[in-house]
Every structure is written in C-alpha cells, then in structure tokens.
Structure 1
Amino acid sequence: MDRETRLKRLKFRAWHRGTKEADLMIGGFFDAAHATWGEAEIALFEELMEEQDVDIMAWALGVAPVPPRYAGGMFDAIRRLDFVKLPD
C-alpha cells in the first residue's frame, strides 16, 4: 500500500476510536504530526492503532507506564500535545 493510502487509513482510524476523548487526543495528534513521519513512524502508529483506547489514553496521560516499544519520540510528542484543532 502506498504512503498516501496508509495515511488516509490511519487518519480514519485515529479519528474513529470509539470515544470522543480518544478521537480528539489520537486524531488531533495524528493531524498535528503525520506530515513529518517517515516509514518507521507510520509503522509505529499503525501498531499503536491496534491498542485499546483506554491503554493509549492512560499512557498519554501518564497514569500508566508506556510500554517500551512505544516509549520515546512519538509518545513524548503525544504527551506534549496541548492543543487540538477540531476538524471542520
């Protein structure tokens, strides 16, 4: 699958998580960050989208430890996210 198709699929998955809070956090992060991602970051985000919303939210909010495979750059950026532009 080409990069553009993968990113379109990820955008949909990021904005349709099942709870509004997760949609805003994960979808908002995707919108803010995806343009700079290379292959490794896209693959990591694809893997992250297989996780449960409650787990992702707990890791992002710092109430549960981030698993080693996600620790670092991407989750540091999610934790720094302080503003989400809502889609029109």
Structure 2
Amino acid sequence: MTETHENRLKRLRIRSWRRGTKEMDLILGPYADADLAALPVARIDDYEELLEESDHDLYSWFSGREDTPPRHVEMISTIMEGRQFR
C-alpha cells in the first residue's frame, strides 16, 4: 500500500520531534512543523534521508563540530536558515 503525502508529512513530523535527544527534537521539530509541508517532494526525500542519520552525527553537523557530508549540506543549511527567524 502506498503512503499518502499527508501521512508521510505526519510521519516525518513525528520522527522530527521524537529523535531521542532533546537538542535534535528542538532543531528538527519546529522546522518540520513550519516548513516541511511547503517543500517539493525531492526536498522531502532529502529531509527523510537526513532523519536516517544518528542524533550524535546530526548534532555534530548542526553545531559545526564536524563537517557535514556533502549530501546533507543543502538540507542542513536550509534548516539552519529557517531557525534564525523563529
């Protein structure tokens, strides 16, 4: 059975808020609530791929402690740009 677009967005929002670490919940949750629905499907695919990464790696990339892998640079930049205005 194919997942509807609406159900996919709900699932990704839940995964964004229930990461396992509060830091990542507070970075990804608000972004998913505010901006995920407006993304084109290809960017939602990128976001879902990002959610597959461990919280430890994600936090290292978001905090700048480690270089972000090239495949995630654009998505992380987009998320961080959006957070500056909230």
- The TM-score range, normalised by the shorter chain, is 0.7 to 0.9
- Higher helix fraction (1 or 2): 2
Task: Indicate the RMSD between aligned Cα atoms, in angstroms.
Answer: 1.4
- Give unpaired runs (5+ residues) of structure 2: none
- Distance (Å, rounded) in 2 between the aligned partners of 1:40 and 1:60: 21
- Give unpaired runs (5+ residues) of structure 1: none
Q: Number of aligned pairs?
A: 83
- Is 1:63 aligned to residue 28 of structure 2? no
> Residue 12 of structure 1 corresponds to which residue in structure 2?
14
Identity, % of aligned positions: 43
- Distance (Å, rounded) in 2 between the aligned partners of 1:64 and 1:79: 15
1:82, distance to aligned residue in structure 2 (A)? 2.9
Equivalent pair of 1:60/1:78 in contact (CA under 8 Å): no
Identify the match of residue 37 of structure 1 among 33, 39, 42: 39
After superposition, what is the alpha-carbon deviation per residue over 1:26-72, rounded to whole angstroms, capped at 9, x for unaligned? 11221222122111111111111110011111111211111111112
- TM-score, with normalisation over the residues of structure 1? 0.83
- Is 1:27 aligned to residue 35 of structure 2? no
- Letter paired with 1:24: L
User: Which range moved further: 5-14 or 21-30?
Assistant: 21-30
